[in-house]
Structure 1
Amino acid sequence: MRKLIVMVGTALSLISGVASAQETSFRGLRVEGNIGGDRYQSEGIHNDRLGYGGTIGFDGMIGDRIVIGPEASFWRANKWTENCSGVPGGSLCDKSFDEWGAAVRAGVLVNPNLLVFGKGGYVNNEQRQRFDSATISVPSSYDHFRTDGYQVGGGVEYTLTGGRLPVYVNAQYVFSKYDDNTSRQRVMMGLGFRFK
């Protein structure tokens, strides 16, 4: 894995060269829509669905190559996501609803149009846990709650157009871990606009 990372980094450097102090579009307020695969994991099982959401952020520059800034995000799986498993006395179902997040994104410009980035921050997920009893002696139960957690991820972003309202695309992977020992993985694409 380490060799692969070194090889990819070397190849990107050779192909693009070092980013110069040219004008870059990776500054200012950005708004994007996201769509991709969602995997919600709980009780040792997972459920895969299509998901969608949005991100709003603000990027600044440190020197000529470092891009950094805060972002806020929203995500949900299509028709929600529910995992059910058999347990002694009945079945246990965990359901995940909306996820809200706040993170810091930092990256390096490979060239004036291409950014490689990583991010990390906080997430909050609305969830429901339901136990359906198979016996009269054990009551069924229902709990609807919100759980906190953290997110980490990374990806690449490419500016398609310049001018006063640059258009960009990105691809990224994000992992969210919630305090109730459930988690979510997202592989998604984004299309956005940057307001300079």
Structure 2
Amino acid sequence: MRSMFLVAVAAIGLSATAANAQDTTSSNGTSFRGIRLEANVGGDRFQSQGVHNDKFGYGGTVGFDGQIGERIVIGAEGSYWRANDWNENCSGVNGGTVCHKSFEEYGAAVRAGVLATPQLLIFAKGGYVNNEQRKRLDTPTGGYYDHFNTSGYQVGGGVEYSLTGEQTRMPVYANVQYVYSQYNDNTSRQRVMAGVGLRFK
């Protein structure tokens, strides 16, 4: 649901405002803190009706990270994802065809990680997702069409590497991650993504 995505973005903004009132200087030289904007691309697998379809996908993430001590990084993020030209599974049933199509996914998650080095973060995340879907049944005698939104949860993890130092005004970073989304209508999505982004400290 788009409103949940907007709530996540607002929460990130409030967190950033609160953090700006504190001293964000860290003695370990890391740049993993502040507001971040990220572009994502990768593989999308939509699973439904016992079958799956793989496509190229893309999206974006906005988030905020803060530090606890010298090695723990924790924050919140809002995300958007879609498969190129959407993703659809079709299979035969009762002399006809049933097709299940997935459109945009919006997510809100909490992310936590450990700094293996000042430049390398290993992280896990979990949260809420909402996906717009369509289900269509075509038979020789008729059929039905249903367009709806379904919600669920997401879990995932990955690694992130800072490409520029702490003293850079807008540090650049890159990451790779895997994310699994389970929707309430017994469908699911898997993503393997690469991302590149900017931080605003």
Same fold (TM over 0.5): yes
Return the TM-score normalized by structure 1: 0.87
Match of 2:155 in 1: 152
Percent identity between matched residues is 70
Written as runs of structure 1 = structure 2, the 5 A alignment for 1:62-141 is 62-134=68-140, 136=141, 139-141=142-144
Gaps of 5+ in 1: 1-19
- TM-aligned CA deviation for residue 22 of structure 1: 1.3
Give a deviation string over 1:77-121, Cα, whole Å, max 9, x none: 001001000011311100000000000000000010000000000
Asked if residue 40 in structure 1 is aligned to residue 46 in structure 2, the reply is yes
- TM-aligned CA deviation for residue 23 of structure 1: 2.1
Asked if residue 177 in structure 1 is aligned to residue 182 in structure 2, the reply is yes
Counterpart amino acid of residue 180 in structure 1? D
Give a deviation string over 1:165-194, Cα, whole Å, max 9, x none: 000000000000000000000000000000
Report the count of equivalent residues.
174
Match of 1:30 in 2: 36
Counterpart amino acid of residue 191 in structure 1? V
Q: What SS class does the counterpart of residue 140 from structure 1 fall into?
A: strand
Q: What's the C-alpha RMSD, in Å, of the aligned pairs?
A: 1.0
Return the TM-score normalized by structure 2: 0.85
Q: Which runs of 4+ in 1 moved over 6 A?
A: none
Gaps of 5+ in 2: 1-25
